[in-house]
Structure 1
């Protein structure tokens, strides 16, 4: 008999954190699930840990593949999943015991396409005692793309109907923000969505986390995703808060590129980026409500390479 829920965990060199993650899953009060551990070519003892858990619990299934990145591992999990509901967890995060019982209860009770809980960022897992939360349901899920406080652009704090995901997959060419693109594509297809006020998902922050890496690939990927989302919403004829939020994300991703160029003394790259996107940035400053301090910060980044360097590079260099 097939399980109701497929929980997909991409695993890559997570030996320091993996046991905590898997124990938090296996402690779920909702028991009708399969746990798909997708080992993405780990070079440490992660695979051994996965196999140990599979030997203890028949719900755990280990799938090995060559290294291809987190999106590739999640996509393999989607291809292997048997449940009518889908959830994702990263191999170094944790979840509270009632997470899937409550969220699937909302999926079934409210008959929505996907449900989203809240997230806490912390250095180590601290279980939150369960209290009954509130549920908000919308027939206009796109409006939630601009919702604050719910980590809407993460794939990890959600349960989806498998039929909603269908053939949609994570973009394996992106180094950063692949979650945001995937979620936008899913929400574009959804007719109904629910938000649960409970904090069930614990995002454990580490010094070696991808999100803390300052590389050209990270910021290029961030820009490409935000540009694609904005263009996609434009093509769909979306108006209102969702499009406005997408435009702000798009403009800020350009400013992030300029910030990276200033920090790493890349004058030619800065000038090219500013030339290509000056109109977008000018419009952003014109139509976006900003505090005076933030407006001046953004303005100094987009006036010129020399001005941005004088304000943002040389003072920091002297302090260091």
Structure 2
């Protein structure tokens, strides 16, 4: 008999934290699930830990693959999943005991396509005593893309109907903001979405964990995601606040590229970026209401490399 829920955990060199993660999943009050551990070519004892847990609990399934990154691991999990509901947990995070019981009850009770909880960021896991949360449901899920306080961009604090995800997959060529792209593409297909105020998902911030890096790949990835989201919405006939928000994200991602070029003294790259996107930037400044200070900031970024450097690079360099 197939499980109701498939929980997908990409595993890559998580030996120090993996046992805490898996214990928090296996202690769920909702018991009808399979736990898919996708080992992405770990070089430490992570795979041994995975097999140990699989030997203890028949709901655990270990799948090994060559290293391809977190997106490829999640995609493999989606291909293997058997449940009618899908959830993701990272291999060094933890979740509260009632998370999936409560969220699946909401999915079924509200007939929603996906449900989203809040997130706690902390240095070590502390189980949050359960209290009944407030529930919000909308038949305009796109409006939630700009909602603050719910980590809407994250794939991890959600339960999805498998049929909603369908053939949508994580983009394996993007190294930053891939979560946002996946979630947006899924929400674009959703009819109803629910939010619950409980912070069930614990994002554990380890001292030795890898955070984002100030690199060209990061900012190019960020740009590609926001450009694709805006173009998909525009092509799909989306109008109103959701499209406006996507356009702002798109423009901010271009400004971020210009900022990176200025910071790292890449004049040719700056000029190339500006040439390719100047029309979009000028349209944004023309049609988007902005506070005067923010408008002047954007104008100085797109005026010229010399002016942008004078305003945004040299003062910061003197302060440092």
Asked if Structure 1 and Structure 2 have the same fold, meaning a TM-score greater than 0.5 normalized by the shorter chain, the answer is: yes
Indicate the residue corresponding to 2:234 in structure 1.
Answer: 234
Cα–Cα, structure 1 residues 45 and 218, in superposed 2: closer, same or farther, change >3 Å? same
Indicate whether 1:77 and 2:77 are aligned.
yes
The CA deviation string for residues 254-284 of structure 1, in whole angstroms up to 9 with x for no partner, is 0111111111111110111111111222233
Q: Tell me how far 1:304 sits from its aligned partner.
A: 1.8
CA displacement 1:176-233 (0-9 Å, x = unmatched): 1111111111111111111111111112224555542111111101101100110000
Please state whether the residue corresponding to 1:199 is helix, strand or coil: coil
User: Cα 1:297–1:211, aligned 2, differ >3 Å: closer, same or farther?
Assistant: farther
CA distance in 2, matches of 1:16, 1:313: 40
DSSP-derived class of the 1:233 partner: helix
Is the 2:42–2:67 contact (alpha carbons within 8 Å) kept by the matching residues of 1? yes
> Does the 8 Å CA contact 2:6/2:84 hold for their aligned counterparts?
yes
The aligned runs of 1:202-281 (5 Å cut-off) are 202-206=202-206, 209=209, 211-281=211-281
1:273-292 superposed matches below 5 A:
273-292=273-292
Q: Which residue of 2 aligns with 1:168?
A: 168
Which residue number corresponds to residue 50 of structure 1? 50
Give the whole-Å Cα distance in 1 for the aligned partners of 2:255 and 2:27.
43
Q: CA deviation at 1:125?
A: 2.1
Q: Deviation of residue 288 (structure 1)?
A: 3.5
Q: Secondary structure at the match of 1:169?
A: coil
Q: Cα–Cα, structure 1 residues 160 and 248, in superposed 2: closer, same or farther, change >3 Å?
A: same
What is the rounded CA distance, in whole Å, between the counterparts of 2:316 and 2:214 in structure 1?
Answer: 17
- In 2, Cα distance between equivalents of 1:278 and 1:170: 30
Quote the Cα distance in structure 1 between the aligned partners of 2:23 and 2:301.
46
Query: Are the aligned partners of 2:212 and 2:218 in contact in 1 as well (CA < 8 Å)?
Result: no
Q: In the alignment, is the contact (CA less than 8 A) between 2:74 and 2:170 conserved in 1?
A: yes
| Alpha-carbon distance between aligned partners in 2 of 1:313 and 1:107, rounded to the nearest angstrom | 49
> Separation in 2 of the partners of 1:280 and 1:211?
30
With the length of structure 2 as denominator, give the TM-score of the two structures. Answer: 0.95
Q: Which runs of 5+ in 2 are unaligned?
A: none
Q: Does 1:96 align with 2:93?
A: no
Q: 1:279-313 deviations in whole A, cap 9, x for unaligned?
A: 22223333434444433333332222122222222
Partner of 1:309: 309
Q: What pairs up with 1:134-153 in 2 under 5 angstroms? A: 134-153=134-153
Shift of 1:33: 0.9
Q: What is the aligned partner in structure 2 of residue 16 from structure 1?
A: 16
The TM-score, its normalising length taken from structure 1, stands at 0.95
Q: Check 1:207–1:252 CA distance in 2 against 1; reply closer, same or farther (3 A cut).
A: farther
Give the corresponding residue for 1:198: 198
C-alpha separation in 2, matches of 1:210 and 1:291 = 35
Q: Secondary structure at the match of 1:38?
A: strand
Count of aligned pairs between the two proteins: 320
Give the Cα separation in 2 of the matches to 1:17 and 1:312: 40
Give me the whole-angstrom Cα distance separating, in 1, the residues matched to 2:167 and 2:197. Answer: 29
| 1:308–1:205 distance in 2 versus 1, CA, 3 Å | farther
